[in-house]
Amino acid sequence: MTSAPRIEIAEHAGVCYGVERALAMAADAATSAPAPVHTLGPLIHNPLVVDELEQAGVGLADTLDDAASGSVIIRAHGVIPQVIEQARDRGLTVIDATCPYVKRVHHAAERLVADGYQLIVVGESGHPEVEGIMGHADDRACVVSAPCDLDAIEIEKRVGVVVQTTQTQEALADIVSALLARADEVRVINTICSATQERQKAASELASRADVMIVVGGKNSGNTRRLAQICTERCAATHHIEDASEIEATWFAGAELIGITAGASTPSAHIERAVNAICDLTGAVHAR
C-alpha cells in the first residue's frame, strides 16, 4: 500500500511586511477614513485580495479621476510624488501605504541624483514600483533589466545604481560588473528587499526536494511569477495557481513530497485553502 504524500510549506512564504502593513491600513481605512475609500490601482497584485477589499468597502480607482471624493490609499509599490500632490490638491485624504523599503529606494534615488550621479534603476521597465522610483529621479535616469540594455545608453563618468526591491542579486551583480567596465565611479545602493530573497531561497530549497510544487499567488504578481520560475527550474511538476479551486488531483499521482510556496502578496488564508484542497484531493498529510 502506498502511503499518503506529505505537504511541506516553504520556510518563508506568503505575505511580506509591506503588504501586510498595506492590507492593515486598508482595513482600518474602510471603517475610519472619509468615504468613499479607494485604492489607487490594485493594492497588491492579487485579484482575490482586490475582490475581498471591495467586499469590505474599499473600491478600486484606476486613476485619480475615478476617485472624485473621500480617500485614496497609495499601494505598497508607491507612486511618483506628483500623484500624492494632485490627490491632496483635489481635497482627497491620502493614506500612504507605500512600503517603507520602497520609500528607501525613493530616498536613495533622490540622494544619488542630488549628488550628481547618473542614475541607473535595475528593474522591470513599466512596473509600477519602477515608475514610482523614476518619479524620484531626474530625466537622465534609465531603467535597465540586463547588461545588454546598457548598450543603448550613453554612460557618464559617475553612475549611481538603485534596484527594484524584487530583483535578484545576480541581476544586480551582472549589471554592476558591466557598468564598472564603462564608468569611472559606480555607487551602488543595494535596495533589494530581503523578503524576496528569503522566499526565493526557501522555494528553491524546497523545490529541489519536492515531487510537485504548488506556487500560490496572483498571475500578475512579478514576485510570484519569479518564484514559479525558480521552482520550475528545480521541479518540473510546478503549478502556479491563484486559487485553490484550480488544483487538480492528477498533478499529484505518485508524489511523496508536495511543496507549497507563495508570493509576497499572498495572504496566509489563501495558502491554507490550497493546503486543505490538496489534503482533500490526495489524503496528503501536512506536517506542521
CA distance 172 to 209: 28
- How far apart are CB 192 and ligand SF4 at their closest, in Å? 9
**Are the beta carbons of 26 and 278 closer than 8 angstroms?**
no
Stretch that binds ligand SF4, among 11-19, 142-150, 177-185, 208-216 (CB under 6 A): 11-19
Q: Which single residue brings its beta carbon nearest to ligand SF4?
A: 18
**Out of 71, 167, 196, 266, the residue judged to bind ligand SF4 by CB under 6 A:** 196
CA distance 225 to 16: 16
Q: Which of residues 17-36 bind ligand SF4 (CB under 6 A)?
A: 17-19
Q: Does 16 bind ligand SF4 (CB under 6 A)?
A: yes
Q: How far is CA 102 from the centre of its chain?
A: 11
- Looking at the Cβ atoms of 165 and 238, the one nearer to ligand SF4 is 165
Q: Does 76 bind ligand SF4 (CB under 6 A)?
A: yes
* Closest of 215, 216, 222 to residue 165, by C-alpha: 222
Which residues, at least 6 apart from 123, have a Cβ–Cβ distance to it below 8 Å? 129, 130, 133, 143, 144, 145, 163, 164, 167
Question: What character string, x for contact with ligand SF4 (CB under 6 A) and - otherwise, covers 82-101?
Answer: -----------------x-x
Q: Does 262 bind ligand SF4 (CB under 6 A)?
A: no
What region does 11 belong to: left with phi over 0, alpha with psi -120 to 50, or beta?
Answer: alpha
Q: Which class for 127: exposed (0-12), middle (13-18), buried (19 or more C-beta within 10 A)?
A: middle
- Looking at the Cβ atoms of 16 and 271, the one nearer to ligand SF4 is 16
Q: Which of residues 143-182 bind ligand SF4 (CB under 6 A)?
A: 165
Residue 244's SS3 state is: helix
Q: Does 193 bind ligand SF4 (CB under 6 A)?
A: yes
Instruction: Let me know the angle formed at the C-alpha of 48 by 13 and 92, rounded to the nearest 5 degrees.
Output: 105
- Looking at the Cβ atoms of 16 and 33, the one nearer to ligand SF4 is 16
11 is catalytic: no
- How far apart are CB 44 and ligand SF4 at their closest, in Å? 8
Binding residues (CB under 6 A) for ligand SF4: these are: 16-19, 76, 99, 101-102, 165, 193, 195-196, 264
Please identify every residue annotated as catalytic: 129
